Amino acid sequence: MTNDKKMLIGMQIGNGYGGQATAWMAPNVDPHNYTDLDAHVRYAQAAERGKFQFLFLPDFLAQSQKSDGDAPSLTMDPFVTMTAMARETKKIGFAATASTTFYEPYNLARILKTLDVVSGGRIGWNAITTSDQASAANYGAQIADRETRYARAHEVIQIVQALWGSWQKDAWIADKETGIFADLSKIQPINLQGQYVASRGPLEIPQSKQGQPVIFQAGGSPHSLALSGRFASAVIGATFTIEDSIRQRNAIRHAAEQFGRNPDDIKFFAGIMPTIAPTVREGLDRRGQFVEPSIRQRVGYLGMMLGLSLTPADLDHPLTAQQLASTHANYEDPRSEKALEIAREGWSVRDILYHAVIDYHPSPIGPAHLTADHMQEWFEAGACDGFWFTPDVYEDGIDTFVDEVVPLLQQRGLFHCDYEGDTLRDHLSIEYQYGLREESA
């Protein structure tokens, strides 16, 4: 490294089992962890031991269980789960997903700022829109068009931030001698009215240790890019190649500059879904247990990725020389290039699939140094500011990453050895903010 910049690490935490749909069936996993908040707390404490910057809690407002054999992919409720984990940790940050499409700004402002205060300034909000019709049906609504959804999102975030700042920083007196609890002249209504949402305010919650929660964003569309550039300090990316990650990060930094912001105050996180084991073969066998339940469907999809006709009869054979000569990467699917690379190494079709080439983020398989090497390559190439890590199985995957990958990153000078601050803003090295940010004309 040519400077002392350190990478950032967040971790996805969902249903209590892991990032794989059948992780609940892993031999060392209690299948009842879906409702066991003690298990979630244990995982948060393991991540804090690894000095991770934050835990990321996704959310979806409709049924997420896809088949009888899959567990729901998300926690019962991210706010409740996050509260339990925050109370039993001291440093690590948390970012919960909440939709601007169905939440009202006052509800969001109140819940999130309360959590930020009681956690000591460790909370973030992943502000997204919802386009899923099944989710809308749960609210007795219809999904609006994209322009409307994002126009509402801009209004919701502005009102939420204005409410966060409506109790001014020096309003709280709490002086028993004078009998003044708070200076009401410094706790004022915001009286914001948009086309879609409005709020009078004020919000009777003082500033947290970091001022107010950090805005996260997840999404790659032009509308998401504008939302990120205007409001977000952390962006959860979906990218499979280093080139695409560089492109996405540069686009996000440029979007921030267009809104008059310092691009260093918006951090881009690339996903990584490793399976860590002493050898590649052991790693493949571990990951394979999660691939097998859907392997017949995956064979056909792999064939489409490579421009071949593959069936379950091909599973235990490598691609023939004739197949390799006729195959090609599908440039509409960035995962296909990696799949072709692995096929050319001579692995069987089954093992190609065990390499997790159909998962949605890069998946190093095998010894810890392979994951550390991947992270170092991407970070030093400017492809990201850090990573959001999804363990295959929480029960042992977090500890393995913390015990084997983190020390390698620390030895290489790529990751910090301890927390340098107490708040999520400290961990992300982003500017203090209280209330609405001043925007350039």
Residue type for position 389: F
The confidence score (pLDDT) of residue 330 equals 83
Contact, 128 vs 161, CB < 8 A? no
Angle between helices 105-118 and 78-87 (to 10 degrees): 10
Between CA 348 and CA 435 the distance in angstroms is 56
Low-confidence ranges of the chain (pLDDT < 50): 1-2, 441
Q: Rounded CA gap, 120 and 371, in Å?
A: 32
CA-to-CA distance for 227 and 125, rounded, in angstroms?
13
CA of residue 264 relative to chain centroid, distance: 19
SS3 of residue 147 by DSSP: helix
Radius of gyration of the chain from Cα atoms? 23
pLDDT of 440: 55
Tokens of 294: 């859907």
Contact 365, 287 (CB under 8 A): yes
Q: Which DSSP helix (H) or strand (E) runs through 149?
A: helix 146-164
Distance CA 235, CA 251 (A): 11
Q: What angle do CA 329, 12, 437 make, to 5 degrees?
A: 100
pLDDT of residue 328: 84
Handedness of CA 364, 369, 374, 379 (dihedral sign): positive
Contact present, 156 and 127 (Cβ < 8 Å): yes
pLDDT at 331: 79
Count the alpha carbons within 13 Å of 301 in the hemisphere toward its beta carbon.
Answer: 17
Q: Which amino acid is at 335?
A: R
The encoded tokens of residue 221 equal: 């569309």
| Model pTM score | 0.95
Question: Chain centroid to CA 137: how far?
Answer: 26
Cβ atoms of 269 and 236 within 8 Å: the answer is yes
The SS3 of residue 433 is coil
Rounded distance, CA 197 to CA 163, Å? 13
Q: Residue 270: which H helix or E strand, with range?
A: strand 267-272
Residue 232 gets which letter from DSSP? -
Helix (H) or strand (E) holding 71: none
In tens, the pLDDT along 281-319 reads: 999 999 999 999 999 999 999 999 999 999 999 999 999
Residue 276: enclosing H or E segment and its boundaries? strand 275-276
In sequence order, which residues have a C-beta less than 8 Å from that of residue 42 and are 6 or more positions away? none
